[in-house]
Amino acid sequence: MQLTKLLPLAFTVAIALAPPSWAEPVASGVPGMIFDHDVPVTMTDGVQLRVNIYRPEKPGHYPVLMLMGPYGKDTSMADAPAYKTSWAKLIAKYPDLCKKSSCRYIRFEAPDPERWVANGYIVIHADVRGAGASPGVLDPFSPRETEDYATLITWAARQPWSSGKVGLFGTSFQAINQYQVAALQPEGLAAILPWEGAFDQYREIAYYGGLLNVAWEYWWTHQVVPNQNGNAETPLVDSINGGKDTGTALSPEILKQNRVDPVEAFAKHPFDGAYYHQRTPDGGRITVPLLDVANWTDWSTEGYRAAASKQKWLRIQTGDHLTPFYSEESIALQKRFFDHFLKGENNGWEKEPRVAVQVRRPDGATWRYASAWPLPGTRWEKWYLDAATSSMGSGLPTAAPAQKSYPGLGDGLTFTSAPFETETEFTGPFGVRLWVSSSTADMDIFAAVRLIDPQGRDVTFMGNSDPNVPLGLGYLRVSQRAVDPAKSTEYALFHPHLGSAPMTPGQMYPVDVEFTEPTSIVIPKGYRLALTVQGKDFGYGPGASTVHAKDYDLPNSNNSGLFFAAHPNRNPAVYGGTDTVATGGEHASYLLLPRITAP
């Protein structure tokens, strides 16, 4: 089933119209809130998924906020081994969080239902098929899972306590699947608010620049499989009734049959084809009002760019993946958006700037508001590389031809600018054009754009999932260097990733490194930019000379972002050759940067 196709007529008639028939609500312990626990909802194939419903005690018709995920709708962040660190960071950041709520119902990457029920909303949290109390095969982001979500949305819109309008809400996984189901245009869907979620299943999840992303194996093993339906050995505890909330115990053999390991599936599909097309939405069919909250480090402006919605907004922030979602500023923003589109309140939301970006500085960040993305007036500058001097600058287009080589699995090459003479801002999409050759039939490029302070230390920032990230990370498997001009822009060349074209050893090739996210930085006088090009994962190891941006006093880590490539498809005999970068003359290599000038 293609994700972009309309749902069959059977979908609309399979949803029960009768009043709910589940047991009496569980005592919520929260004044004014009714809690319906483990409510069964029948899918189009007869499988019953389980949902939790939090609703106002006062009778009426209320708009619905919904999310569907694999992490356990009854799993407390404070107690689950996989989430304890996240919870500790959240409470450290907002020590008064549990004074505004009992915090009993906060789940990983999910809104606190108490804060929303008190504001006149119903919150529905569903376990995806194959997770928690929902039986079936656990297959993340599959067409079957997306159809389930569409069924749940329309079911919720037709319930007697519903106003008929449903908004989708949540972060990460619960943002990614918002884009997917919005393309199906289910009855009742009125607005979506994907908070830091990927859009393109091949380029933002499975493969970065054609390199398999094995970081998902950790996510799968530690955060998803423990909550698989039927997993009697789960360490997760049902915070509502105690015990386990993973249904009837199943044998290890059946459990394995009932789940699809995403990294194994990705490895079987190395190129962008039908498998990913079924999981990447058709942006032209996403027409509901949309607020996309992205992060400078991982995920994602692509949903905003692709969606056909006439009412869409983009907000790009800095900082970690979880805590900003729960800030008072963020909750106020979220409520204004949903109050306008689900309740019809005339609260001035339509006057909200279409784009808001948090511009980074070494000593903090400030918000800038604009009418479009990329920012109006952006000027793309080419900062040319010089292999002879390991330097780069906007004034080097006529540098003499030069080459420099490095071991494919070594530390690579670094090109550094002169100290900036005046404060300079770069905010927006960016890229790297290189002329390269290899002693083997292929090579991998890992590119890191870095900020260096006057003392020669790397300035790092808090990323989506890593406490130390540079200004940007890009990737490309050179055998997948082909570009589709029809889908490319000056600042973002599109790699179709439809097949592999091996390199001829020793031959030079022009390649454009793939960056999935834009960047933002105001560079103070005396600071420098650096570009590192190597054939392995970039990271700051122990003892690295780094200084953290303001307010991020965190330990060093060895990998940056949501990607790493340590996998058997990285054959040292192929990717451990001698690689070469050429610069100057007919082999001009450069870093393309989005210059912002004062209005």
pLDDT tens-digit map of 128-171: 999 999 999 999 999 999 999 999 999 999 999 999 999 999 99
Q: What is the pTM of this model?
A: 0.92
Instruction: Verify that 284 and 383 share a domain, yes or no.
Output: no
In CATH, what number is assigned to the domain containing residue 443?
Answer: 2.60.120.260
**311 belongs to a structural domain:** no
Mean pLDDT score across all residues of the chain: 91
The pLDDT assigned to 122 comes to 98
- Choose the final residue of a domain: 289, 319, 344: 289
pLDDT at 14 over 90: no
The pLDDT assigned to 468 comes to 85
Please state the rounded mean pLDDT for residues 576-598: 95
CA angle (236, 153, 315) in 5-degree steps: 80
**What whole-number distance in Å separates Cα of residue 526 and Cα of residue 424?**
11
- Choose the final residue of a domain: 256, 273, 289: 289
The pLDDT assigned to 2 comes to 39
The pLDDT tens digits for 232-286 are: 999 888 888 888 889 999 999 999 999 999 999 999 999 999 999 999 999 999 9
The pLDDT assigned to 560 comes to 53
pLDDT at 556 over 70: no
Confidence of residue 12 (pLDDT cuts 50, 70, 90): very low
Instruction: Verify that 246 and 388 share a domain, yes or no.
Output: no
**554 belongs to a structural domain:** yes
pLDDT at 551 over 80: no
Confidence of residue 304 (pLDDT cuts 50, 70, 90): very high
**What whole-number distance in Å separates Cα of residue 400 and Cα of residue 583?**
8
The pLDDT tens digits for 512-542 are: 999 989 999 999 999 999 999 999 988 887 6
Lowest mean pLDDT among 10-19, 196-205, 469-478, 566-575: 10-19
The pLDDT assigned to 215 comes to 86
**503 belongs to a structural domain:** yes
**297 belongs to a structural domain:** no
**308 belongs to a structural domain:** no
Task: Give DSSP secondary structure letters for 451-468.
Answer: EE-TTSPEEEB--SS-S-
Q: What DSSP designation does 330 have? A: H
**2 belongs to a structural domain:** no
Number of structural domains (the chain) is 2
Provide long-range contacts, Cβ within 8 A and 24+ apart, for 485-494.
490/380, 491/374, 491/380, 491/428, 491/429, 491/430, 491/431, 491/592, 491/594, 492/429, 492/431, 493/431
Instruction: Verify that 112 and 228 share a domain, yes or no.
Output: yes
Instruction: Verify that 404 and 515 share a domain, yes or no.
Output: yes
pLDDT at 553 over 90: no
**What whole-number distance in Å separates Cα of residue 40 and Cα of residue 401?**
68
Lowest mean pLDDT among 6-15, 177-186, 305-314, 354-363: 6-15
In CATH, what number is assigned to the domain containing residue 239?
Answer: 3.40.50
Residue that is written with structure tokens 């909250």 in the block: 293
Which residues form the domain of 52?
25-289
The pLDDT tens digits for 418-431 are: 999 999 999 999 99
pLDDT at 15 over 60: no
pLDDT at 7 over 70: no
Reduced to 3 states (helix: H, G, I; strand: E, B; else coil), residue 84 is helix
**575 belongs to a structural domain:** yes
**What whole-number distance in Å separates Cα of residue 373 and Cα of residue 395?**
28
Please state the rounded mean pLDDT for residues 556-569: 59
The pLDDT tens digits for 23-75 are: 567 777 899 999 999 999 999 999 999 999 999 999 999 999 999 999 999 99
Please state the rounded mean pLDDT for residues 397-422: 94
**419 belongs to a structural domain:** yes
- Choose the final residue of a domain: 254, 289, 324: 289
Instruction: Verify that 385 and 284 share a domain, yes or no.
Output: no
Please state the rounded mean pLDDT for residues 402-410: 96
